[in-house]
Amino acid sequence: MNRTKLTKAACLLTLSFLLGSAGCGKSLQKIFYINSYHEGYAPSDQKMLAIQQAVASQPNVVLKIFFMDAQRHQDGQSIKTKTDEALKAIRGFDPDVIIASDDDAVKYVIAPHFRKGPVPVVFCGVSWTCQQYGLPTASVTGMLEAPPVRVTVQTLRKYYPEMKSLIVLGGNSVSERRNIKTLESIFREEGLLSETLLVKDFDAWKQFFAAANKKADVVYLTGNGAVADWDDTNAWEFVFRNIQKPVITCEESLMRYAVFGMTKVEREQGEWAAKTALAILEGKTPADFHVASNQQTKGYFNPLLAEAVGFRPDPELLAKLETMK
């Protein structure tokens, strides 16, 4: 037997030994994770990394990841195709628990097909409420995502007491369309007249960003994952050249284009979902866990863009913020 065949034989023997060792102890348990978006989209990447790290610490738990890529492919046929692919993958994997992050996975896969079982489900990243999906149920629980919008606006108002109008700019996705009514309600309660602009591509985003800076007192940025042809470097250069008014956000991944923001901590969602899923593998049920909401926030300050619009936080506020570099 030559060296190559010996090496292959040794690898097969090692694999058989490892599988046999796993079988001698605790049996392997399986988690199927549906990510609504695509790899490389920062907010969902942070959730996913937290889930991967939590599962990696469990030697008898395996994780399979499925990307719906719903922000970049939102037409009905693409969503149907991805939903069918997800259901086929779930049947083939036969998981003990499903984790689903963000609205698309919950709307198209979980609510229609797993709301009443048979596989227990933990969701995370669903915006504001899950009642529109008929959740929670005895088989499904999760963590909602509520950006700290109100505190961001209230903090900015201390420096701009005269501000009256605000424009929301983001990608045209399921999550962002769902956010509109809630955001507009919050802004109205804070005494702001708001307008929402959801765009499909980067050229439109740039066009509306420039227009919003001329028209409104403040600009609020939401997710950019559904903005086709997005270019980070081009976006920063465009913002730097065209910013005229305070730009705020509650998305950490967008802080390089804003002057200030109180943001949610994306990892919190993934950590909670993974911890809950692992507890279900240990014998708990989804009904044992109340639907939670994010609690962690982090503040950021972008001095370069802030200087361009004359936004100068006092030392007390600056001490609470992380400065962008």
Residue 138 has pLDDT above 60, yes or no: yes
Residue 2 lies in a domain: no
- Is the same domain home to 135 and 177? no
CATH number at residue 44: 3.40.50.2300
Residue 298's H or E segment, with its range, is strand 297-301
Residue 3 forms part of a structural domain? no
Question: Is this model's pTM higher than 0.95 or not?
Answer: no
Say yes or no: 173 and 139 in one domain: no
**Within a domain: 21:** no
Q: Specify whether 190 is located in the same domain as 304.
A: yes
| Mean pLDDT score, 304-313 | 95
More reliable by pLDDT, 175 or 96: 96
Task: Mark whether 177 and 259 lie in a shared domain.
Answer: yes
> What is the reported pLDDT for 10?
38
20: pLDDT confidence band, cut at 50, 70 and 90? very low
**Residues 204, 316: one domain?**
yes
Which pLDDT does position 25 carry in this prediction?
56
Q: Same structural domain for residues 169 and 254?
A: yes
| 54-74 tens-digit pLDDT | 999 999 999 999 999 988 888
Look at residue 16 and tell me if it is in a domain.
no
End-to-end CA distance of the chain: 59
Asked if residue 135 and residue 206 are part of one domain, the reply reads: no
* pLDDT level of residue 248 (50, 70, 90 thresholds): very high
Same domain, 304 and 169: yes
209 and 288 assigned to the same domain:
no
How many domains does the chain contain in total?
2
Same domain, residue pair 169 and 249: yes
34 & 157 share domain: no
DSSP states along 48-99: HHHHHHHHHT-TTEEEEEEE--TTT--SHHHHHHHHHHHHHHHHHH--SEEE
Domain extent for 224: 149-264+298-323
